[in-house]
Amino acid sequence: MGGTGRTDVIVVGGGVIGLTTAVELAERGRRVRVWAREAAEHTTSAVAGGLWWPYRIEPEEQVGDWSLRSLAVYEKLAADPERTGVRMVDGVHADTSLDGLGPWAARVSGLRAATAEECAGPGLWARLPLIDMPAHLVWLRERLRAAGGAVEQRTAHRLDEALAQAPDVVNCSGLGARGLVPDDSVRPVRGQLVLVENPGLRTWYTAADPASSATTYILPQPGRLVLGGTADDGDWSLEPDPAVARAIVERCARVRPEIASARVLGHRVGLRPSRPAVRLEREPRGADGALVHNYGHGGAGVTVAWGCARAAADLVENRPAP
């Protein structure tokens, strides 16, 4: 398709939300172009830890359904991890209990209280999708191309630019929505990670400190161990902080001592596009067109990507939300 011929839908934003939405639309037969400000491997999505779990995202009454729809897709994609980047991996959410979760938790197969051997205190044991985001983003782009869609490296300065070239536009601009819409309720939540050599860990671990922005997570990804992290509201800095990196490694080493001597491979920082609640709605434009918003997913973009993509595509087709 490239940049020629008729375009039915332009998706603004080339992260996991934008690419997944574009795939959903293209596989429904729409001629889709993605306008991406930067290559997918340079987006916030590429920095994400990649563990499926509804995290820091509202509205609660819809997040469960979006997450479960996505979970069902990832469980199928995990049959081909080399291509899709999706694996099903066991692990523990420390300081978490079933009664503290929404109704969606009852539909997650195998989710149970952790034993004393699995977790020092209260926690949940689960087998969840763990997604190698750089690999998954490449796979999404190839799946889009196979469905006839295209990705164009282009910065949208106004959404009207896209509406001038296609009757329907889906705004998946993430943090960019702050200026594009404009929407002042969109804020960065800075996350810093440390990548180290994996000393042999096969399970993931997470723990949140409710008294601070610090989190502790250990995610075994192909060729590396991802250690985190932070959740600094309103912080726009993309520079890794050496003191924060040392603190991350120290927290993770308290859980798994062998991490203390693991060789550091690199540092990553991403700005999660936070909002009080996901904006997923349709604005009619022109006689038959629409501007559909699909942004504000915070740190749970990969968790809800397929569920939100389906809902956004339904809105493009002017179907009522389920």
Residue 164 is part of a domain; what is its CATH number?
A: 3.40.50.720
Rg (CA), the chain: 19
Asked if the structure places residue 52 within a domain, the reply is yes
| Structural domain boundaries enclosing 291 | 1-90+128-185+276-321
216 is in an annotated binding site: no
Residue 234 lies in a domain: no
User: Is 45 flagged in the annotation as binding?
Assistant: yes
Report if residue 194 sits inside a domain. no
Q: Is 300 annotated as a binding residue?
A: yes
The per-residue pLDDT for 4 is 47
Structure tokens that stand for 156 in this block: 């949208």
Q: What is the distance in angstroms between the CA of the first residue and the CA of the last residue of the chain?
A: 32
Residue 313 lies in a domain: yes
Provide the pLDDT for residue 6.
Answer: 83
Distance CA 227, CA 251 (A): 9
44 is in an annotated binding site: yes
Q: Is 302 annotated as ligand-binding?
A: yes
Q: What is the pLDDT of residue 56?
A: 81
Closest by CA to 261, choosing from 172, 199, 177, 176, is 199
| pLDDT for res 5 | 62
pLDDT digits (tens), the chain, 322 positions: 344 468 999 999 999 999 999 999 999 999 999 999 988 888 889 999 999 999 889 998 999 999 999 999 999 999 999 999 999 999 999 999 999 899 999 999 999 999 999 998 899 999 999 999 999 999 999 999 999 999 999 999 999 999 999 999 999 999 999 999 999 999 999 999 999 999 999 999 999 876 677 899 999 999 999 999 999 999 999 999 999 999 999 999 999 999 999 999 999 999 999 999 999 999 999 888 999 999 999 999 999 999 999 999 999 998 655 5
217 labeled binding residue = yes
What is the C-alpha to C-alpha distance for residues 101 and 252, in angstroms, rounded to an integer? 25
Q: Which two tokens stand for residue 48?
A: 């994400």
89 is in an annotated binding site: no
- Spatial CB neighbours of 9, under 8 Å, sequence gap ≥ 6: 22, 25, 30, 31, 32, 33, 166, 167, 168, 169, 170, 316
User: Is residue 123 assigned to a domain?
Assistant: no
Number of domains, the chain: 1
pTM above 0.85, yes or no: yes
Give a yes or no: residue 177 inside a domain: yes
Does residue 299 have a known ligand-binding role?
yes
Give dist(CA 32, CA 313) in Å, integer. Answer: 11
Give pLDDT, residue 288: 86
Alpha helices in the chain (DSSP H): 16-26, 44-47, 60-77, 81-84, 133-146, 159-163, 177-180, 242-255, 301-316
Residue 15 lies in a domain: yes
